[in-house]
Amino acid sequence: MASKTVLIAYGNRLRGDDGAGAVAGDIVKAWGLPDVEVLTIQQLVPELIDDMKQAQRILFVDAAIPGGIEGGFHAGMVTPVRSRPAIGHYETPAQLLALLQDLEGVTPEAWLITIAGSSFDHGEQISRIADKNMQHALAWIRNRLRLKQPCTKSV
């Protein structure tokens, strides 16, 4: 399926706030926006290249410990970084973009939206803090999906 935007939401739903990215992905998918493909997964893997190669824009959504995140979430542009480990099945958004560039010759606009969490203990429930931060991130995502022109600034 060729789409204008691919949103890749990831995180471990069994580790509290680490699942906030995946929950955000479920919410975006429920919006039913045309030209937006939502992938909700546990971790980034090279196999995502096939879904990414037709995208004009990619939004990665993840949760993190709040250090350095002001306002509950952070949205920043992602650029390709070639730093692939020799063996492994874990990627970063920057590594995936570099792989996409190398294999397919394309580099779509890409953003990483990081939601600050407070509890990464075992359990499926996200905290009130992470939920509030996720709502702010979702407002940013909704705005970004309505924009027609690529943006070049970090928020």
Note whether residue 155 is domain-resident.
no
Note whether residue 127 is domain-resident.
yes
Give me the domain span that covers residue 123: 5-146
pLDDT of residue 16: 79
Note whether residue 154 is domain-resident.
no
Report pLDDT digits (tens) over 118-136: 778 887 888 898 899 999 9
* Torsion angles phi and psi, residue 18, rounded to 5: -60, -20
Amino acid residing at 5? T
Amino acid residing at 27? I
Average of per-residue pLDDT across 7-20: 89
Note whether residue 89 is domain-resident.
yes
Note whether residue 151 is domain-resident.
no
| Long-range contacts of the stretch 147-153 (C-beta < 8 A, 24+) | 150/57, 150/109, 151/109, 152/77, 153/77
Note whether residue 153 is domain-resident.
no
CATH number at residue 55: 3.40.50.1450
Report pLDDT digits (tens) over 32-84: 998 999 999 999 999 999 999 989 999 999 998 876 666 789 899 999 887 75
Note whether residue 152 is domain-resident.
no
